[in-house]
Amino acid sequence: MRKTYVVILPDRAGELLSVMRALEESGMDVKRVSHNAVVDPHTYFVDAEGTGAALADADASLDEMGVLDSSAEVGEVALLELTVGDSVGALVPALELIYGYGFNITFCDARVTSPGDQKVLVGVYVEQAEDLDPFLAEARRICPTRVVPYDKSRHVIDNSYFYLSFARGMGGRLGLSAEQEHTVLVNSNRIVQSLEGTGANPFKPFEYLDDFASGIEEYRGDAFARATRVTRLETPGGVRCTCVEPPAGSNTWILEAEGRLLCIDSGYRAFRREYQGLYRSLFPDWDGCRKELLLTHADIDHAGCTDLFDAVYAVRDVLDNFGMEAAGEPNLRAGNPLHRAYEEIAKVLTSYEPPVVDGRFSCIGHKDRFSDDPIARCYTAAGEEAWLEVPPFRFEVWQGAGGHVPGETVLVDRAQRVCVSGDIFVNVHDETKQQRRFDSLAPYLMVSVDMNPELSRRERKALFGMLDAGEWLVLGGHGAPYRHVAG
């Protein structure tokens, strides 16, 4: 069994050694240790592996030592602006008051702003929030004093317990459980560690994760429909089609088939109610009609709302992905160490739940495991070429080699001249402003959204090479409908 311990240690020599000895005495084998004093001088991340009995003993030992993150008390830093005279000793009374309250100064910036006056920004670490109000009352009798708001992920005026403050702050905003806060805490460290060799600002990942959370919060409720671009059009074969581009997450395409709706990808689960409301406004008979879903791949921004549909189609690798998640194993995306930490945090922030693969799910084929082609034909269990038939559509089923993620699926209907590309092709040049902003976060936090960027480029080239001469409608994973004329 493997566990990541988050331990909070005083900034003194020998503290980590005592933790390592406790783990060794419990029979745990340490696999990873991460600590970056620039980000947080007190927080250490220790991955250790051992038997169930060893794990229980290690838990008890570290709990007794009082070093686990769950028992840490974290205060707040208040950024104060003091206006004092530009004279010798003008700041001393305020400093004496700060000392009298036992507040630590974490940041100080003083500068003359007008003749005779200077503005002083002081960060004070307050362990007990109730101490701040009486302090401010006394400080205002000494000099004009106000609390200045600041964005903790962008302006680091204190890095004591930074990880804990970040995770607990996000938990308070989003209503996360203690376990979910722990997931955010541990995996934000893994992202920081993965970017250490790039020369990136170590606080930048926290800014991007905060932007991710804000992008989910911001578009809840009525704001979702206002920020979602809806395009209604016809395929080259004359079938009505609707493209739904949410402010965060994948497109959903809705093809009006004969007596039913064929939808492609389902978006983030965080917006499940918002999707329902939007679909009902677009299709008055939404609740009464048959709704079928094709998943182009298993990423959580595509597969979050599968339960809204009467039938779900996916290739074997996508179904296997959900089976891995149900068993508590890393999914196909998490097979890339650079992607796993982002994946785990994104699941928490978007309320993701692994789809329950029940009788609604149908396997539409699998590709030849020994194929070297960037995009290969899929076959049924009987060895025949796989098709997805939803009249008037008759799609050939193809699968990429995993450049973006294993299981990526391509559908081609040569009569209707429609190509479903998923994220193998994304219309990045025609996204909404909200999409573009949100979609810029993952490439930074994951280094690349593609498992294998070079293979992904080959897949895109192969995709357009598959299309017969003439006009095609390409249904991409993100961005507006794309009209392509093949030569």
306-332 per-position pLDDT tens digit: 999 999 999 999 999 999 999 999 999
Are the beta carbons of 48 and 7 closer than 8 angstroms?
Answer: no
Q: Report helix, strand or coil for 461.
A: helix
Q: Is residue 152 in some structural domain?
A: no
The per-residue pLDDT for range 188-200, each reduced to its tens digit, is: 999 988 887 777 7
pLDDT band at 401 (very low <50, low <70, confident <90, very high): very high
Expressed as residue numbers, the domain containing 395 is 226-486
232 lies in the same domain as 211: no
Q: What is the pLDDT of residue 74?
A: 66
Q: Count the residues in the chain.
A: 487
Q: How far is 178 from 118, CA to CA, in rounded Å? A: 43
Which of 181, 202, 218 terminates a domain? The answer is 218
279 lies in the same domain as 401: yes
Residue 72 has pLDDT above 80, yes or no: no
H or E element: which one contains 258?
none
Q: How many domains does the chain have?
A: 4
State pTM to two decimals.
Answer: 0.82
Mean pLDDT value across residues 403-419? 97
174 lies in the same domain as 316: no
175 lies in the same domain as 130: no
Q: What is the pLDDT of residue 73?
A: 66
Cα 341 versus chain centre, distance: 9
Are the beta carbons of 418 and 475 closer than 8 angstroms?
Answer: yes
Percent of the chain topping pLDDT 70: 97
Q: Report helix, strand or coil for 342.
A: helix
Residue 246 has pLDDT above 90, yes or no: yes
52 lies in the same domain as 83: no
- Measured from the Cβ of residue 100, the count of other Cβ atoms closer than 10 Å reads 10
422 lies in the same domain as 312: yes
Residue 344 has pLDDT above 90, yes or no: yes
Q: What is the pLDDT of residue 277?
A: 97
Between 25-39, 85-99, 140-154, 404-418, the lowest mean confidence (pLDDT) is in 140-154
Q: Is residue 153 in some structural domain?
A: no
Q: How far is 256 from 271, CA to CA, in rounded Å? A: 23
Which of 34, 49, 71 terminates a domain? The answer is 71
236 lies in the same domain as 211: no
Q: How far is 270 from 279, CA to CA, in rounded Å? A: 16
Tokens 């036992």 — which residue? 102
Are the beta carbons of 478 and 426 closer than 8 angstroms?
Answer: yes
Q: How far is 378 from 231, CA to CA, in rounded Å? A: 31
244 lies in the same domain as 307: yes
- Measured from the Cβ of residue 66, the count of other Cβ atoms closer than 10 Å reads 10
203 lies in the same domain as 121: no
Q: Is residue 155 in some structural domain?
A: no
H or E element: which one contains 480?
none
Q: Which domain CATH number covers 53? A: 3.30.70.260
The per-residue pLDDT for range 98-150, each reduced to its tens digit, is: 989 888 787 888 877 777 788 888 888 887 778 899 999 999 999 999 998 87
Are the beta carbons of 143 and 108 closer than 8 angstroms?
Answer: no
